[in-house]
Amino acid sequence: MAKAVAEHGPLCVGIDPHPGLLASWGLSQDAAGLERFALTCVEAFGGRVALVKPQAAFFEAHGSRGVAVLERVIADLRDSGTLVLVDAKRGDIGSTMAAYAAAYLTEGSPLAGDAVTASPYLGFGSLDPALEAAAGSGRGIFVLALTSNPEGASVQRAVGSDGRSVAQSIVDSAARANAGAEPFGDVGLVVGATLDELGVDLSDLRGYVLAPGFGAQGATVADLRALFGPDLRGVLPTSSRDVLKHGPETAKLRSAVDAVRRSLEM
């Protein structure tokens, strides 16, 4: 990751082929339209940004043909040298979590990118099979910590008997998993860029922070600095709609990516 960020900057671009975007691109609401959308994004972003984040749900919505498109997106992006974060938000227990880990974090699986998003809300320890698989295959996990949706606060900001918020306990668990890593370990966090306040201490994390909400959802570079501090090293702002609205022309998508990357250099 460090090499990719040094070469291309910290921007993560999402591939979110939801029905509204397919329609605005003049594409059919089926697997064929999905494939055209997704492969246009691959052509536009591959080799141009550090990290691309396909949202698995929009592919799964088209059944097996949609999942096949996701597999191709992952393979083509990796062939281009671009890191792939599969936004699947998986989380379960025992053998089920081990199966998710095999699907998204094990070499040879067609769904394995370079990292996957995961939900820790069955207990951070439930993610152990994924942590072990990531460490064994040189991949990463981005664990949901503080999301920007209003419903999330009732769980994530709740305070436990030890006086810590649930979100802080997730941060601390991720920090323990990354202990001794230099500069960053396998476990990153997802923290919404549009939050009004952070309210957690990330100083011991030693991991990357994925910050969705940059661009169309309203977060700016100034907001990122206000939330995470002036040093944004390790913060990966994510933009999806703000870039994707410029499709379907590949040149316009690339120009949009370049504009967002320049804004992050301010």
95: left (phi over 0), alpha (psi -120 to 50) or beta: alpha
Residues 6+ apart with CB under 8 A from 46: 52, 76, 77, 79, 80, 81, 82
Q: How far does CA 58 lie from the centroid of its chain?
A: 15
DSSP-derived 3-state class of residue 95:
helix
Pull the structure tokens for residue 136: 């064994």
Whole-angstrom distance, CA of residue 39 vs CA of residue 84: 14
Catalytic residue among 3, 53, 89, 245: 89
Pull the structure tokens for residue 220: 């700016």
Of 47, 48, 51, nearest to 15 by C-alpha is: 51
Question: Residue 89 catalytic?
Answer: yes
Paired sense of beta strands 140-146 and 187-191, if any: parallel
- CA torsion 250→265→195→165, rounded to 10°? 120
Q: How far apart are the first and last CA of the chain?
A: 21
Cis amide leading into 120 (omega within 30) = no
Of 146, 129, 134, nearest to 91 by C-alpha is: 129
Amino acid, res. 253? L
Catalytic site positions: 89
